[in-house]
A and B are shown apart, each in its own frame.
Chain A
Amino acid sequence: MTTTKRVDPAELAKLPCTGPSFDDLRGKLDPIVARYPQRAAALLPVLWVVQRARAGWLHPKSIREVAEYLAVPQAHVEGVITFYTMFKDQPVGRDVVVVCKTLSCRLRGAQEVMDALEDHFGIDMGGTTKDGRYTIETGECLGLCDMAPCMTIDEERHGNLTPESAVKTLEGRPR
């Protein structure tokens, strides 16, 4: 079984920062900033836009650009990113799969679903599949307890999972 290693933070800047330039994102960001009496308040929504537009994670360059754009200290942006589990400061797979691990799902077999995914893809929870397609992580209660056990892939929801159906779902999605 392999464990996906975190990239040494000092090395992150050497990775390419893919996606649109920050100037190309301004058209989307400026109206968001206008919703708040203070620029700094737009930090979470701005990070969301930048993360989605740029390969699903926040490259050191993105962090610097957001800090500059909102006139907030870079240390603050980093503090916020590391507080919220859905902001990523490390590269992720093309899709982030979140398998709910909390009680309602656990009671109905979430652990077995996670075991099956780990075995099938040869990774630990939190890791990225070798083909770079999925980062599969656990999440705390996703609020889909009526379809437990469940997992999400952005807006996609998959519920009433079995170990087999979970694997099949991920393998069966269009590439």
Chain B
Amino acid sequence: MPKLTIDGRSVEVPKGTTIIQAARQLGTDVPHYCWHPGLSIAGNCRICLVEVEGMPTLQIACNTQCSDNMVVRTASDKAKRGRADVMELLLINHPLDCPICDQAGECKLQEYSFRIGNDRSRFDFPKVHKPKHVKFSDKVMFDAERCILCTRCVRFMDEIAKSDELDISNRGDRNEISVKRGGELESPYQMNIIDVCPVGALTSQDFRFKSRVWFLESTHTVCSGCSRGCNVTAGARWNKMLRLIPRENAAVNKWWMCDEGRLTYTDVAAADRLGAPMVRKDGRLVEVSWDEALAAAAKGLAAAGDDLFALISARLTNEEIWLASKLCDALGTPHRDTKPRAFGKDDLLRTGDGNPNSAGARILGVAPGKGGAGLANFASQNLAGAALFGEDLDDRPEAIAALQKLAFVLVVDSRESETMRKAAHVVLPGLTAYEKDGSFTNVTGRVQRIAPCVRSPGDAWPDWKILGWLVAGNDRGARPKTCAEVFARMAAAVPEFSGMTHGMLGTAGLDVRSAAPAQGSV
């Protein structure tokens, strides 16, 4: 374990640690563009120059390994001068079009120019011009003039996405990042290059020009695309979700997420969102008050009793699934199931399971009980009613037909569906995963918090509240006031979650307590 001094403070690091990593350990950020903790070392941007005692030249902190008794100065005059030189050179051919650049506000050129740059440039020649508006794909735009050739994008594609679709063409100051001629990016992870790009060279076709990033309200939450549960930061403005970007979690997704997951937020603004409870009257669904709808639901459920088929979505949170299970327990029905959902699958992040909480549903026992029916056979069981929590059956017309024969059908969902229109007697509007509190248990057994990024539309309720009220029935005191309260009750009852609280889950999550359904890992 080499022990060294950085800016007068000593630090001990494992062998092989580089200066830039050791400095981070001390809370010192050595400026860097090409270095990324998740990628190989390129050493080309040269902005991380530091002074190392005994070495005649400045060294790059990203590729210099710490050794015993090393004395490093990140802020000496020589180091600062070297970095200011590199900063000036980075900007001489840069268009400085910050007012119209999407990266403004989260651009490392802006940040380091502000921190270590000069207040003027000595360069007074025409700049080198390169292609702007280059379409890399329907998802990614490229501006070669803004690019500082750090090659993070190239390395991401090679090393992480395992798809060598990017390379550099030409030479010297005519260098350009390029896809093959006549081709476009195809990788399902390509949008990560937008995140790793430290400048405004790679921008998102989906997000660009929608908002300056400093106006975004950011929320730490979890992607609901698949059972990986990639940690994300959601950006919203005017109560509208505008983007998801991956948030580092070494135990789950490292720094990355897939494109499919990244675009799941668009469900929130779907045109067919439900905003009010409804009850079928004279064959038509009509909007009613929550009180009336909840009463109708409770009545219908009670009437169905142990002849109720409950389809409990594995897209619901642990808290919600637990409440739904309790409701089933109270009714005494063994007819419970989830609905499988397909998603992309590969060795990196995508699990193939489009339900973000399959593991939670498994832990909480959502499956046909003894003598119980499931999704495949409920239609033939002569049941009295059905409750669909967070699901529809639009992809199974024969199942809708079966529902239509039942005396009572409750649908709790966030969007309209054919199922609801044709078969529901009571409709209770719930929320998407980006509008409510809760937790998911991911494919490796990681329990992670989700959080509301925008307010719900109309008079929709979080599903945990709907379920909590149904479970509580007439006992008003038993109605949960917060999701955290539901979680606490669940944690007391379910060993896998024992001792956990929402607060303890924090922003990085915790592994389930007992043998987790461990399958697949990052």
Would you call B164 and A78 a contact (CB within 8 A)? no
- Residues of B within 8 Å of A13, CB to CB, are 182
Would you call B181 and A78 a contact (CB within 8 A)? yes
B122 CB within 8 Å of chain A: no
B168 CB within 8 Å of chain A: yes
Cross-interface CB contact of A60 among B168, B169, B181, cutoff 8 Å: B181
B362 CB within 8 Å of chain A: no
B353 CB within 8 Å of chain A: no
Interface centre among B169, B179, B181, B183 (most CB of A within 10 A): B181
Tell me which residues from 253 to 291 in chain B have a Cβ below 8 Å from any Cβ of chain A: none
Q: How far is the CB of A69 from chain B (nearest CB, A)?
A: 16
Would you call A82 and B164 a contact (CB within 8 A)? no
Cross-interface CB contact of A75 among B170, B171, B178, cutoff 8 Å: B178
A9 CB within 8 Å of chain B: yes
- Residues of A within 8 Å of B180, CB to CB, are 73-75, 78
Q: How far is the CB of A86 from chain B (nearest CB, A)?
A: 12
Q: Give complex CA distance A78, B176 in Å.
A: 11
Interface centre among A13, A60, A79 (most CB of B within 10 A): A79
Main secondary structure of the interface of B (DSSP, over half): loop
B410 CB within 8 Å of chain A: no
Would you call B182 and A75 a contact (CB within 8 A)? no
B167 CB within 8 Å of chain A: yes
Which residue of B is nearest A67, CB measured? B180
With an 8 Å Cβ cutoff, the count of chain A residues facing the other chain is 14
- Residues of A within 8 Å of B167, CB to CB, are 73, 75-76, 78-79
Q: How far is the CB of A44 from chain B (nearest CB, A)?
A: 15
Would you call A10 and B182 a contact (CB within 8 A)? yes
Q: Mask for B165-201, Cβ within 8 A of A = 1, else 0?
A: 1111111000000111111000000000000000000
Would you call A78 and B178 a contact (CB within 8 A)? yes
Would you call A82 and B182 a contact (CB within 8 A)? no
Which residue of B is nearest A80, CB measured? B167
Which residue of A is nearest B165, CB measured? A75
A36 CB within 8 Å of chain B: no
Would you call A73 and B164 a contact (CB within 8 A)? yes
Which residue of A is nearest B176, CB measured? A82
Q: Give complex CA distance A76, B164 in Å.
A: 8
Q: How far is the CB of A77 from chain B (nearest CB, A)?
A: 8
Q: Give complex CA distance A164, B171 in Å.
A: 34
Would you call A73 and B165 a contact (CB within 8 A)? yes
Tell me which residues from 357 to 379 in chain B have a Cβ below 8 Å from any Cβ of chain A: none
Tell me which residues from 9 to 27 in chain A have a Cβ below 8 Å from any Cβ of chain B: 9-10, 13
Q: Give complex CA distance A73, B183 in Å.
A: 12
- Residues of B within 8 Å of A60, CB to CB, are 181-182
Would you call B169 and A78 a contact (CB within 8 A)? yes
Which residue of A is nearest B170, CB measured? A82
Q: Give complex CA distance A76, B183 in Å.
A: 13
Q: Give complex CA distance A76, B166 in Å.
A: 8
A to B CB contacts below 8 Å, 20 in the list: A10-B182, A60-B182, A73-B164, A73-B165, A74-B181, A75-B165, A75-B166, A75-B169, A75-B178, A75-B179, A76-B164, A76-B167, A78-B167, A78-B169, A78-B181, A79-B167, A79-B168, A82-B170, A83-B169, A83-B171
Interface residues of B (CB under 8 A from A): 164-171, 178-183
- Other 20 A-B pairs with CB < 8 A, given A9-B181, A63-B181, A82-B169: A13-B182, A60-B182, A72-B164, A73-B164, A74-B181, A75-B164, A75-B166, A75-B169, A75-B178, A75-B179, A76-B164, A78-B169, A78-B178, A78-B181, A79-B168, A79-B169, A82-B170, A82-B171, A83-B169, A83-B170
Interface residues of A (CB under 8 A from B): 9-10, 13, 60, 63, 72-76, 78-79, 82-83
